[in-house]
Structure 1
Amino acid sequence: MVYNDPYKQFRPQGKLVKEDGGIRFMDSIILGTIYDELRAMRQIIDTDDNDDCSTDNAMTPDDNSELILGADSPAVATEDLWPDPAHVFRLWQIYLERVNPLTKIIHVPSLQPYLAEAITGCQNLPKNIEALLFSIFVMGAVAMSAEECQTLLGYSREAALQRFSTGVRVTLIRLGFLKTHDLTVLQAVVIYLLSLQGRYNRHAAWILNGIVIRMAQKMGLHHDGEMLGLGPFESEMRRRLWWQIIMADAKYAMLTGLSHSLLPRSWNTKEPRNLNDADLFPSATEPFQDREGPTEMIFCLITNRIGKFLIESPGFEMMVMLVEFGDLGAPDSPQMQEFRRTVESLASELLSLLDRFCDPSAGPVHEMAVEMRSQIIQKLGQLMDPSRGQPELRAELKSPKDNAFMIALSSLEHNERSYHLARDKGFLWFWLAHFQLDVFIYMVGQLCQRTEGKIVDRAWRQVAVVYEFHPELYDVTTNKTYHTLARFILKAWARREELLRAQTGRSPEVPEYVERLRSAMDSEDLRSDAPAPPETLTQQLIVSGPANPLDPSFDQFLTGIFDSPPVDWEMFGGPMLPNGQNAAPFRYNVGPF
């Protein structure tokens, strides 16, 4: 990815500098040379120094990393947080089966030898490997259901997430992760941030991903390893990691309503190759070439191409707005024609990747890749025409607000399809982590006003689906967002119940989720009306995002920024359209990636 830079032709590629066992990148050749000389001087001093004193900085790093991950307690021993020997291998296997095929951050053959040592404990493991394995254990817990976790580990999923998350943070802090230049440490941080998806405030997660981008940039991951003179194996692993980082940034930027401003102005890291881990050898000297045919990289190849589309199409979101707000989104408008060409180009690229590298009979991850391509193209097609393939609904789509309601409903229906397809393949965690709560909130707010019609009937069905797959929404006693959402659902159901009774002459069957919400709410909530109109609810809940009942220490530094009283979100709702209207009432994500 290269942006116009008038000074690029005069600037050298940069320089890699060895530092503290890792590799640091510097754009400045002069400073890179100075650091090389300083490193040589330190080596001379270390060789000549015969004093018996030693410096142990393992417990108190001076890089203020505790401000990011929470304070480190000297009383915490990572050995006490390590999983039991019987659980280490099972968590590793769950990661390999359910997480690794969708992320491809680690090289399994290189990490596998450490598992024998890990089963006996973490005392003799290198600290960077300890951090990486803790992050893998967290993702193993994320990828399990609550029932699985309780059965396998003997304690709750929430307890497992807190235990292993604490292990990651303590290990990273003691490593002084902000000042390291170690690829393994960066892998641990990236995997840990992946584990936060859907569990923490997405605005805070976006900020943390910005820190990861800066860590990667100082290691030179934004420049392709071949151009920096690195070997084929290291170059390929850096590509895999960099593309995961920038795709996370693209996703969080879209969800928070911001652009990809944290990415370096100019980066040229190539997309990863279509290769199995078994094709990659640390001792390789010749550049790797794509393997023809299916490999374990297929899902990442698809999501990388989608991420590239989002980054290269900064006007994409404006096209979404044009569709929602009417005249400018007419089928024959120049803007819509350009949008259609862009979508067709993406569809062609994704289909080409599937033709070359995908075989649905090769395993679940290939089925997931096919589903991902289908989802993205269908969603983009529905942005151009919300009633696409459903002509019977056109009579109900009379205004831009109707179209927005239909788009929100379609997004949740796509989620339902993905949930059912992924549940038996072990990949359900991936789709659940990309659930857009604000889209659901928007739809519920509309149901307070809309009481009949085919689209409304389908929307009420999706309310039941969401509560089936997201039982955390029943936590109305400790989570203010879910509590307010429940009040609006009960308000909307009361209106629908009244309408159905008037139409049929009898009371409709009360859905299970309504019964559960009624039993969970106190009597005052049931007597009172909802506290705000739907539009205000949507704005307020988008600010706070889901609360974090699992790990309060993580958010102690960042979360307060976003939990302040509601602000005027008209200021941040997006660009003003040419007709004077503000951008959409929710952030529409084209799909998980």
Structure 2
Amino acid sequence: MFSPDPTANNSPKESAATTSKKAPRVLSCVQCQQRKIKCDRQSPCANCIRSRLRCIPAPTVGPRQRRRRPQERDLVERCRYYEGLLRQHNIPFEPLRQDPAVTQGLVANPTFDQVTAPDADKPSSPSSTAYSETVSETRNIWHAMNQRSHTHDPHDDSSDTSEEDAVRLTEIRKAWNSFESNDSLLFGVRDSFVNLRSLHPDQNQIFRLWQIYMERVNPLIQVVHAPSLQKSIIDATTDLSKADPNLVALMFSIYSVAVHSLTPEECQAAFSTSQEYLVIRYQFGCQQALLEAEFPRTISRDCLVALYLYLISLKSACHIQSLSSMLGVAIRIARRMNLHIESSYANGKSTPFEAELGRRLWWSLVTFDSRICEIADHQGSVLDPTWDCKVLANVNDFDLRPEMKEPPTSQPYPTESIFVAVRSHVSEFMRQDPSNLDFINPIYKSIASKSHGDGTVKALETYLEENYFKFCSLENPLHAMTIWHTRSQIAKLYLTEHFAKYTEPSQQHNVAASEAATLHATTLLDCDSKLLTSPLTKKYEWFANSYFPFTSWMYVLKDLKISPLGNSAEQAWISMGENYAARGMYSQPYNHPFYMLLMRAIDQAWEAREQAFRSIGTVPSQPQMIFDVRTKKERAGLDSQQSVKRWGVKNMVNLERLSLSEAFTPPKDKDLDFENLMEPAYDESGQPELDMNLVAHEFLWE
């Protein structure tokens, strides 16, 4: 007599519970999914064993969901369609289903007023342009690949793409991260014998360096959130061996850039150690820490900030084109993190706190990159209209909190981030300005938009004066730095506009336009002199040194040679004399490569002025600058004819053909004799040999 089935009398609830406890389905491993081959679903699978690959099991899933009814399917499809429209127009919403592979849209650039108005409730400026409704969407290839084909029957569940067959971007990244690879492409192999703890300063010096960073560097770049980072540093110093590698790299980069911001005398007084020694020590520590953090494939903002600060600390001792290449690596990492795409911060993808810090890092990177590219060859800058990151909010760090749910409101008064906020406005204008794009890539002019009002430099200048500068005080160091640096950049924009307009063959020489351009160039020199001579901005001198106004010098000298008795000639010589002194050129050697170019041009322009005065029967009073230039020429034993013959600087005759990149050709045979800088070194062809460290450190940066 057989016994009845013990499960025959189970209740429906018990049956449902038994069903729900079924073992989850085992999916194909990631490698087999990528290669689109059948997997035996073992761990490791036969295919991976045969191919000698690391078998990565796919995440397990529960039993298949029940087939949706046609009505339910239609509703889901309609919801997805509406979500897509909301996402395209950058409207916040709560999605029906969080999908890591969701498409990230790239919206058109908002207008200058709409993204930067301090008070959202105020009516927009009459000069504001209409918001563009055109949306250019960047699609995700993996998301598109996983969509159900529209040729299949929508009511047939068998036509759905199963979770097993779907290839997710997160899985692809996970597969790549599983490989053991060599990340020593830039800094060499991580030295396992180097103990990073021994390279850290003691705790007192750590906080002294942090204080220097906060006083001198942070106000001008604002790439860290000081309150939260300070807490992290305090926690890390209790046991540096357990600190996060990204934080360790960031700490070393802060040490490096803090020491870099000091003068040699200030460094010796503060740490009783030479600046050269500390810079080498902390930069080496930063290299090792970046290797430890695997920086080439990082997605950590702290790690990218560490790389950026490290590059800033390098700029006075690095070939400018090498630095430009290294910055390209940092820009590519930032793009991989989608820092340049505004939609990557929307719809809950980032908190308002992370979004603003991401924008700060992106703007700081691209403005630094723009300056480096300008010095190197005026090519390759990413300050162009192909991305849509918003300009920065004018807020204090204490207005930013990790737990905040709404973005901070840009303040109508000066804050600790006023410098970076104003600079982002200027950079936003530059990347949309047709005149500037003429020198980067003219093809971008077809997609550029007017960033403010009618898109003129005057409109930008008026906006900044009315919304920022009138609330500032020149007694405040950061406010003074913001005003004079920005006004110098505005003058530079006017000058660039002139260059773009009057370099066209169809444009006739315009005396009034040339005098206006000379006035803008001398304004730039005046602003630069004020920055370098004011005791208030002394602590920001390391930054101002990066903006030697070489183009303005050369344009003014070229114009003075053509029109030695022009209306603005007298003021131009006064402005140049003040800047000559402010830049410390009285102490510079005559045989320095760029100073040879500059002083030769000064001498030629003054000779033209002397000749013009002689023609009217008088003699001009000789400025101290001219006396210094000619004295150095005599000491070097070179007269004008010997200079032309031995230097072979053909571009000195036609200054408009002068190319900065030509002066960056490193010496191949002999080094410049640093023990006797007053004696020029020449190669066999009679050309002056150039030492790159001297060029970068002494001229472009100081």
Separation in structure 2 between the aligned mates of residue 104 and residue 219 of structure 1, nearest angstrom: 19
CA contact (8 A) 1:225 1:231 kept: yes
1:2 paired to 2:108: yes
Moved more, 82-91 or 482-491: 482-491
- Please report the TM-score for the alignment, with normalisation by the length of structure 1: 0.66
Higher Cα radius of gyration:
2
Residue 201 and residue 165 in structure 1: after superposition, are their counterparts in 2 closer, same or farther (change >3 A)? same
Q: Which amino acid aligns with 1:95?
A: Y
- Please report the TM-score for the alignment, with normalisation by the length of structure 2: 0.57
Aligned residue among 218, 233, 242 for 2:362: 242
Separation in structure 1 between the aligned mates of residue 621 and residue 394 of structure 2, nearest angstrom: 60
Residue 359 and residue 490 in structure 1: after superposition, are their counterparts in 2 closer, same or farther (change >3 A)? closer
1:109 paired to 2:255: no
Moved more, 80-89 or 91-100: 80-89
Which residue is 2:169 aligned to?
Answer: 32
Aligned residue among 419, 434, 440 for 1:299: 419
> Could you say what secondary structure the match of 1:345 adopts?
helix
CA contact (8 A) 1:199 1:548 kept: no
> In the TM superposition, what is the alpha-carbon distance from 1:108 to its structure 2 partner?
0.7
Q: Which amino acid aligns with 1:2?
A: A
Separation in structure 2 between the aligned mates of residue 361 and residue 473 of structure 1, nearest angstrom: 28
Residue 274 and residue 34 in structure 1: after superposition, are their counterparts in 2 closer, same or farther (change >3 A)? same
CA contact (8 A) 1:383 1:407 kept: no
> In the TM superposition, what is the alpha-carbon distance from 1:31 to its structure 2 partner?
4.5
CA contact (8 A) 1:86 1:119 kept: no
Residue 87 and residue 495 in structure 1: after superposition, are their counterparts in 2 closer, same or farther (change >3 A)? farther
1:219 paired to 2:337: yes
Separation in structure 2 between the aligned mates of residue 473 and residue 74 of structure 1, nearest angstrom: 48
Aligned residue among 350, 374, 379 for 1:258: 379
CA contact (8 A) 2:267 2:275 kept: yes
Which residue is 1:25 aligned to?
Answer: none
Which residue is 2:210 aligned to?
Answer: 92
CA contact (8 A) 2:531 2:537 kept: no
Which residue is 1:415 aligned to?
Answer: 528
Aligned residue among 429, 451, 471 for 1:309: 429
Q: Which amino acid aligns with 2:548?
A: F
> In the TM superposition, what is the alpha-carbon distance from 1:542 to its structure 2 partner?
0.5
Separation in structure 2 between the aligned mates of residue 319 and residue 70 of structure 1, nearest angstrom: 36
1:271 paired to 2:385: no
CA contact (8 A) 1:475 1:483 kept: no
* Length, aligned pairs only: 490
CA contact (8 A) 1:222 1:264 kept: no
Separation in structure 2 between the aligned mates of residue 291 and residue 505 of structure 1, nearest angstrom: 52
Separation in structure 2 between the aligned mates of residue 420 and residue 232 of structure 1, nearest angstrom: 39
1:160-212 per-residue CA deviation (whole Å, 9 max, x = no partner) reads 44443333333223433111111101111222333455765544444333322
> Could you say what secondary structure the match of 2:108 adopts?
coil
Separation in structure 1 between the aligned mates of residue 631 and residue 464 of structure 2, nearest angstrom: 43
| Percent of pairs with identical residues | 25
Aligned residue among 456, 464, 483 for 1:350: 464
> In the TM superposition, what is the alpha-carbon distance from 1:148 to its structure 2 partner?
1.7
Aligned residue among 214, 236, 244 for 1:126: 244
1:528 paired to 2:642: yes
Aligned runs of 1:431-446 on 2, under 5 Å? 431-441=544-554, 443=556
Separation in structure 1 between the aligned mates of residue 623 and residue 403 of structure 2, nearest angstrom: 69
Q: Structure 1 unaligned segments of length 5 or more: list them.
A: 16-28, 43-54, 321-337, 387-395, 550-564, 566-591
Separation in structure 2 between the aligned mates of residue 463 and residue 361 of structure 1, nearest angstrom: 23
Separation in structure 2 between the aligned mates of residue 176 and residue 121 of structure 1, nearest angstrom: 21
Aligned runs of 1:50-199 on 2, under 5 Å? 62-66=182-186, 69=187, 78-79=196-197, 81-83=199-201, 85-116=203-234, 123-196=241-314
1:286-316 per-residue CA deviation (whole Å, 9 max, x = no partner) reads 4444455442222221111111111122344
1:461-512 per-residue CA deviation (whole Å, 9 max, x = no partner) reads 4444444343479554885334454555566667778988994599876767
Q: Which amino acid aligns with 1:107?
A: H
Aligned residue among 281, 290, 311 for 2:401: 281
Separation in structure 1 between the aligned mates of residue 206 and residue 594 of structure 2, nearest angstrom: 36
> Could you say what secondary structure the match of 2:395 adopts?
coil
> In the TM superposition, what is the alpha-carbon distance from 1:261 to its structure 2 partner?
5.4
Separation in structure 2 between the aligned mates of residue 524 and residue 465 of structure 1, nearest angstrom: 26
> In the TM superposition, what is the alpha-carbon distance from 1:133 to its structure 2 partner?
2.0
> In the TM superposition, what is the alpha-carbon distance from 1:345 to its structure 2 partner?
3.2
Q: Which amino acid aligns with 1:239?
A: R
CA contact (8 A) 2:560 2:566 kept: no
CA contact (8 A) 2:334 2:340 kept: yes
Which residue is 1:556 aligned to?
Answer: none
1:520-549 per-residue CA deviation (whole Å, 9 max, x = no partner) reads x54357882334352467756501457999
CA contact (8 A) 1:131 1:188 kept: yes
Q: Which amino acid aligns with 2:521?
A: A
Separation in structure 2 between the aligned mates of residue 416 and residue 468 of structure 1, nearest angstrom: 8
Residue 290 and residue 477 in structure 1: after superposition, are their counterparts in 2 closer, same or farther (change >3 A)? closer
CA contact (8 A) 1:236 1:272 kept: yes
RMSD: 4.8
By relative contact order (CA 8 Å, sep 6+), the higher-ranking structure is: 1
1:232-262 per-residue CA deviation (whole Å, 9 max, x = no partner) reads 3222211221222233344445553236558
1:34-55 per-residue CA deviation (whole Å, 9 max, x = no partner) reads 337759x97xxxxxxxxxxxx9
CA contact (8 A) 1:114 1:125 kept: no
Aligned residue among 481, 484, 494 for 1:368: 481
> Could you say what secondary structure the match of 1:106 adopts?
coil
Q: Which amino acid aligns with 1:349?
A: Y
Which residue is 1:514 aligned to?
Answer: 629
1:341-392 per-residue CA deviation (whole Å, 9 max, x = no partner) reads 5234323432454289x55389432343344554455555677899xxxxxx
Residue 548 and residue 443 in structure 1: after superposition, are their counterparts in 2 closer, same or farther (change >3 A)? farther
Aligned runs of 1:360-399 on 2, under 5 Å? 360=473, 363-377=476-490, 380=493, 398=511
> In the TM superposition, what is the alpha-carbon distance from 1:116 to its structure 2 partner?
3.9
Separation in structure 2 between the aligned mates of residue 525 and residue 150 of structure 1, nearest angstrom: 41
Separation in structure 2 between the aligned mates of residue 164 and residue 485 of structure 1, nearest angstrom: 35
CA contact (8 A) 1:247 1:307 kept: yes
Separation in structure 2 between the aligned mates of residue 343 and residue 508 of structure 1, nearest angstrom: 34
Aligned residue among 341, 350, 367 for 1:230: 350
Separation in structure 1 between the aligned mates of residue 361 and residue 519 of structure 2, nearest angstrom: 36
Separation in structure 2 between the aligned mates of residue 474 and residue 361 of structure 1, nearest angstrom: 29
1:373-424 per-residue CA deviation (whole Å, 9 max, x = no partner) reads 54455555677899xxxxxxxxx98377666555433322231133334744
Residue 37 and residue 402 in structure 1: after superposition, are their counterparts in 2 closer, same or farther (change >3 A)? closer
Separation in structure 2 between the aligned mates of residue 478 and residue 120 of structure 1, nearest angstrom: 51
Residue 473 and residue 535 in structure 1: after superposition, are their counterparts in 2 closer, same or farther (change >3 A)? farther
> Could you say what secondary structure the match of 1:282 adopts?
coil
1:412-459 per-residue CA deviation (whole Å, 9 max, x = no partner) reads 223113333474462232222122334435555666777666644444
> In the TM superposition, what is the alpha-carbon distance from 1:155 to its structure 2 partner?
4.0
CA contact (8 A) 2:250 2:305 kept: yes
Q: Which amino acid aligns with 1:269?
A: C
Separation in structure 2 between the aligned mates of residue 233 and residue 507 of structure 1, nearest angstrom: 58
